Amino acid sequence: MRIATWNVNSIKQRLDHLATFVRSAEPDVLCLQELKCVDESFPRAEVEALGYNVVTHGQKTYNGVAILSKSPLEDVRRGLPGDESDEQARYLEGVLSTSAGVVRVASIYLPNGNPIGTQKFDYKLAWMDRLNAHARRLLALEESLILCGDYNVIPEPEDAANPGSWASDALFQPESRGKFRELLNLGFADALRACSDQPGLYSFWDYQAGAFQRNNGIRIDHLLLSPQAQDRLRSASIRKEVRGWDKPSDHVPVMVDLDIE
């Protein structure tokens, strides 16, 4: 089973890119972030024509997450539990039935949190606390669980080409990184780092100052695997070439292959 995650930075603007990517990579499941549209405006017919079932949790202009799956999704959850007043569309979860048992997948668009010292940063940290609490409950189910998405967290200095330039950014604050480590310490594995410690592996490059051409990037898009999913991990990869396409998202897809049929 191939599972991918991608912040498309507007599904309407990247629909052609989405079609090109899924035809070349053929993911069984694709988690999308930053749709920037309500559910009714999602190009469902076009995506279904590519061979996918579609579940969305959208929001006008901002945020929005989706899960595209070749198999039907069950037990769908829209929204992260823990705060009934939170209206931001940042979390979507569903279950696939396979010959190897249940596979649970979540699409996550974690808050950016900038600027630090504001309510936006407080919201980011509180959201991460809710995510960690929910993840702990999901781990108790002892399923193959994959938490996919744009975490807006640079885990370690080697995950940035120029760590010093991010010192005052919410993505690289000790608090953000600490809560990400708390999530890992529950028993999750960072799929990419479980497969490679190679430097220079990034999933985001700013649009400004030729960042992509100079590989001045950061790694903020992650797939975290429960112990049951870790046992089935075969490989992980970043589709860097997608950033070189015409009018791309500033993020690229990240993928894992699991021994699940």
Interatomic CA distance for residues 114 and 256, integer angstroms: 29
**Token representation of residue 112:** 């950016």
Interatomic CA distance for residues 148 and 133, integer angstroms: 16
Q: Are 31 and 149 in contact (CB under 8 A)?
A: yes
Q: Please tell me whether 34 is known to bind a ligand.
A: yes
Q: Are 242 and 205 in contact (CB under 8 A)?
A: no
> Mind giving me the DSSP string for 70-114?
SS--EEEEES-TT-TT-----EEEEEEEETTEEEEEEEEE----P
> In 3D, which of 186, 94, 182 has the Cα closest to residue 136?
186
Q: Please tell me whether 251 is known to bind a ligand.
A: yes
What 3-state DSSP class applies to 37? coil
How many residues does this entry show for the chain?
261
> In 3D, which of 4, 1, 57, 18 has the Cα closest to residue 34?
57
Question: What does residue 219 show for φ and ψ, rounded to 5 degrees?
Answer: -110, 105
Q: Please tell me whether 222 is known to bind a ligand.
A: no
The single residue listed with the structure tokens 């539990």 is 81
With helix as H, strand as E and coil as C, how does 151-177 read?
CCCCCCHHHECCHHHHCCCHHHCHHHH
Q: Please tell me whether 152 is known to bind a ligand.
A: yes
Interatomic CA distance for residues 234 and 136, integer angstroms: 24
- For residue 91, count other CB atoms closer than 10 A to its CB: 25
**Token representation of residue 119:** 């309510």
Active site residues: 109, 150, 251
Q: Which residues are annotated as a binding site for Mg(2+)?
A: 7, 34, 150, 152, 250-251
Q: Which residues are annotated as a binding site?
A: 7, 34, 150, 152, 250-251
